Structure 1
Amino acid sequence: MFFKRKIESWNKHTKKIMDSDIVIGENQTDRLKFLNITKDTLNDVREAGKYLLPFKEEMVHKFYENIMSSEHLVNIISKHSTVDRLKITQQQYIEQFLEADISNDYIQTRVQIGKVHSRINLTANHFIMAHDLLVQFMISILMEKLYKSPNKMMRLVIAIQKLATFDKQLITNVYTDATFQSFLHEISWMLQDITKLDTSEHLINGADTQIKETQSVTAATEQMSASIQEVSNHASEVAERTEEAVQAADNSRKVIDNSFYDIEQVDKTYEHVMENVVQLGKEIDHTHEVINVIKEIAEQTNLLALNASIEAARAGENGQGFAVVAAEVRKLSEHTKEQIEQITTNMESLQRVSTEVTERMKETGTRIEKSVVGSQAAGKELENIISVMHSINYQITEIAAMTEEQSSTVEEISDRNSTIFDLSKNVQHYAVETAEVIYEISKKMDNYRLSFLKTNVVENEKDIIQIAKTDHLLWKWNIYNRLLGFGDLQAEDVSSHTACRLGKWYYSDLPSKVKDKHAFKRLEKQHQAVHDYARLALEHYERDNIEESRSILTELEKASDAVVQCLEQIENDL
């Protein structure tokens, strides 16, 4: 006799429990209660395992057939593991799942799965789809095996779904927390790197210096251009005068050539005169000889006249006429003697003059000879001078041309420098814009980081210290950017070292393992110094004492580095 078995209502299978009889941590117990998971649920899962475990390998095989159809998942597997290894892990998961022994070990295995998925960057969507696929296999097998027992089928299927949902929620929650933590750390590290970008000030100041330098270069090129133009004018003037000097030298050479010809002619005339002077000397000597002969004749005549006078006296009257003649002859002889003496005196004077003239002529001859030699040397030297002056004139002409080229080049440099000046102004403008953009990006990233902090993803003291370090560096970064003209931070905003996030953390109820650290005790003084320097820097900035504020910022950097070192030491000691 056949009868129809009554199927239980779905309300019975989904009835809300008042409390879970499984206790394992506050959070996990709440989840079990929310999903209506009890020990009976776990027993149903174990009972379902009797039907599912025989198909364990087949389910895993079909599971990875689907997985391997996704190129993205294949890339993740090939990068971090192998399919064979993952199949073994998947079978172990199914076995543990169907054992349904929710304990700390069970929870930790799911936590580890979530962390691994986060580490390999498997998205939550892919994990959920893959996990649902495995549950789909299990439900399909149960429905096939238990379709004749619908109430049991519903009970076991719902039990599988409940525990699978618990696993999925636990794993994705860990995955999300781990991913958020990873994002938080990445953002913190990126923000810490951004706070090291102190090049904005150097870039802006460098552009400003470059602008000043280009202005100096422009002034220098203008002066240089004026100097070059002046040199060019002088060179042209010198070239013209040198050309005139060359023409004058050529004319001088012609005059010297003519003078040299005249000197040569004088030399020849001198030689002829010298010959005449020598001949005159010879004639004077010959005249002396003639005078001597005449003198001898006069003496003889005088002697004859004396003898004639004696004979005339002896002749008496007859000799008177002869005596007169003899007297006249004697007078003539005396007169001749006197004239000969005068002539001799004159000839001696003439001889002296002739001798002196001869000596002078010899000296003149020597000088003329030297003048001829000197004129020849002067002619050669003048030719060399003219040659050198031609060369100088050519070089000066070249210099004049070169100065014109230099003037053109300087003008080109001036034009290029003007372009550099414009580019430097643009660079300075873009540097300021870039610095401001970087600052705005850091603010947005910090807001993004703070949104992660609101999700309570911080698990331990190391995470808290890492957050505190990032907070401090961002705080200092805001000071730095305020001195660049960004933001609206005021001196009174940084006066208290207990009101900032780091101060609130420092003076909060911390465990002794943190407070007892030597680095923690040193932190307070350094942190207070940072605030003092920041306040002073901003006060000077607000009074437009820019250089003084920058100087104080250097001291702030030192104190800030000390704060970071203390935080890192605390983190390493934990």
Structure 2
Amino acid sequence: MFFKKQAQTESNQDLDKLIAAMQNVIDGNLETVEVSDFANPAIAETFNRMITYGFKASTNKFTLTLNDSMEIIGNCECIKEMIEQVESQTHSIEDMSTSSQSLGNAINNISGAIENIVANTSEASETAKRSASNMQQSIQYVNEANEAMDTITHMILAFREKTAQINEIITIVKSIAKQSGLLALNASIEAARAGEAGKGFAVVANEVKELSNNTSASTEDVVRYVAELQSGIEELVSIIETTSKKLNAGNTMVTDSVTDINKINDEISIINEEINSIYSSVETQSVATNQFVEGINNLSDAYNELLEDCMKTGHLMHKISRSVDNCRSDMARKLSKLTRNQWIRVFEVDHIIFAWRQYNSLQGYEVLAKIQRPDECKLGKWIAQQKDQRLTSAECYRNMIYHHDQLHKGALDCWNATNASKKDEALKIFTNVIYPNMKLLVEDIHQVRELDAKIEAEDAAKGIVKEDNYAG
């Protein structure tokens, strides 16, 4: 009776422990129980098999599917390319905006310069017209002066002819004076012969003689004055002729200048018309350019908004990928019973996500508290447990370790550059170190998985079953 009661008590205790374990399962804790804690080991072993092969093994397929999905979701290459293209196009649009603004300013400057040229050419044209008009008036004045000079010349020539006539008259007067002198001499002789009776006649003869002498002297003075006057007239005629020739030459030159000025004025008018046409075209182009600049600025604003939307999309994709990754991690490590080969596949996706988290960090999508060393991550811990020479001596395995170390080293450098606000340097490290080593590591892991599957098949053919103790 005592033993029966004891057995009943132990059975009730096992039942309570089983109920507690099942409640843990309901709560999401798929942990096995200690067989030694149960009075009836079969109960514990059955429960553990249910957990291991019933629950965990059944979720393997879902976990691996989620792992494959996470490889696609966690690969931000398309987001990176989209952001880089939009950034590049945004920079190009900004450059175009700056260039178009400069073009608009240049055209406005050209428009202003042409406007000044139009004003200057118009003023030059008016000045040329005034100059031509003034020179035409000067020609008229010169022609009038030339005509006056001709009149004066004719008057002086007529005066010169009159002086010649005066010379003829003086010649006659001199002849008369000479004859009067002879007559007075004859009268004096006759008066002397007549004696006392001729004294009165002698007085007259002396007066006539004195008159003749005075007339001769005056005539000589007049001859001298007329000669001087004729000399002055000749010199004046020569000067007037020279001046007249110079006036005519100057008149010709002014006339030629007026012709040239008129030609220049005509050419200025043509240039002015062309400049007005250019000015009109530039004004039209200026309006079109301003519209183009406005369009480029609007396009630049649109691209900035697009870039912001892309960044928001990247941030949202990061949040989604982190949620899915957390779910994947929990499924793999708590709710699944993965084989060694399947764990290697999980490590592969882990490091794809690990690489792209560096990119998310430098873009500001997330803040990474620290970067694990190669021996701290799940793959590093798994590598440290491997003792099979068939696996550890393989080239693909050694390459995996090398690229794994390089990936973590590049991630640490990228993390330091990001924390130092050196985004360009961090992006350069990601592009030149992290991304290529991640790609090579993925290739290495593929080869390691193939080799591991081959080793497992060889062991299975020999009846060797190895317990997979790695639990992630």
Task: Give me the TM-score of the superposition, normalised by structure 2.
Answer: 0.65
Separation in structure 2 between the aligned mates of residue 502 and residue 219 of structure 1, nearest angstrom: 55
Equivalent in the alignment of 1:500: 377
2:365: which partner in 1? 486
Q: 8 Å contact 2:348–2:445 — kept in the other structure?
A: no
> What amino acid does structure 1 have at the position aligned with 2:375?
T
Aligned-residue offset at 1:480: 0.9
Higher relative contact order (CA 8 A, sep 6+): 2
SS in 2 for 1:507: helix
- Aligned partner letter, 2:384: Y
Task: State the alpha-carbon separation in 1 of the partners of residues 146 and 427 from structure 2.
Answer: 98
Which residue pairs with 2:314 in the alignment? 435
1: CA distance, partners of 2:211 / 2:260:
70
Q: Could you tell me whether the CA contact under 8 Å between 1:187 and 1:449 is conserved in 2? A: no
- Structure 2 residue aligned with 1:512, among 369, 372, 389? 389
- Report if the CA contact (8 A) 1:284-1:347 is conserved: yes
Summarize the Cα distance change of 1:557–1:261 in structure 2 as closer, same or farther, 3 Å threshold.
closer
Deviations along 1:469-489, one digit per CA (max 9) or x if unpaired, are 554333111111111122343
Matched ranges for 1:96-495 at <5 A: 194-195=76-77, 198-203=80-85, 205-206=87-88, 209=91, 213=95, 216=98, 220=102, 227=109, 234=116, 239=119, 246=125, 250=129, 253-436=132-315, 439=318, 456=338, 470-491=349-370, 494-495=371-372
386-395 vs 344-353, which deviates more? 386-395
Q: Distance in 1 between matches of 2:140 and 2:243?
A: 17
Equivalent residue letter for 1:209: H
Range with greater deviation from structure 2 (445-454 or 532-541) = 445-454
In structure 2, what is the Cα distance between the partners aligned to 1:457 and 1:513?
A: 18
Q: 1:221–1:413: 8 Å Cα contact kept in structure 2?
A: no
Give the direction of change, closer, same or farther, for the CA distance of 1:287–1:293 in structure 2 (3 Å limit). same
The equivalent residue for 1:41 is none
Q: TM-score, normalised by structure 1?
A: 0.55
Change (3 A) 1:485 1:251: closer
Tell whether 2:413 aligns with 1:531.
no
CA contact (8 A) 1:523 1:563 kept: no
What do you get for the CA RMSD once the two structures are aligned? 4.5
SS of aligned partner of 2:240: helix
Q: 1:405 offset after TM fit, Å?
A: 2.5
Matched position secondary structure for 1:489: coil
Q: What amino acid maps onto 1:551 in structure 2? A: E
| Cα shift readout 1:365-398 (whole Å, capped 9, x = no counterpart) | 1122113312322332232233234334434544
- Compute the displacement of 1:356 (Å): 1.4
Letter in structure 1 aligned against 2:428: T
Say if 1:526 and 1:563, in contact at 8 Å, map to a contact too: yes
Asked if structure 1 preserves the Cα contact closer than 8 Å seen for 2:184 and 2:206, the reply is yes
Deviations 1:268-321 (A, max 9, x none): 443343333333333333433443343344334334433433443344323322
| AA of the residue aligned to 1:337 | S
Q: Which amino acid aligns with 1:323?
A: A
| 3-state SS of paired residue (1:485) | coil
Query: How many angstroms apart in 1 are the aligned matches of 2:343 and 2:265?
Result: 94
* Paired letter, 1:428: L
Moved over 6 A (4+): 183-189, 444-453, 463-467, 569-574
Q: CA deviation at 1:205?
A: 3.8
> How many residue pairs are counted as aligned between the two chains?
387
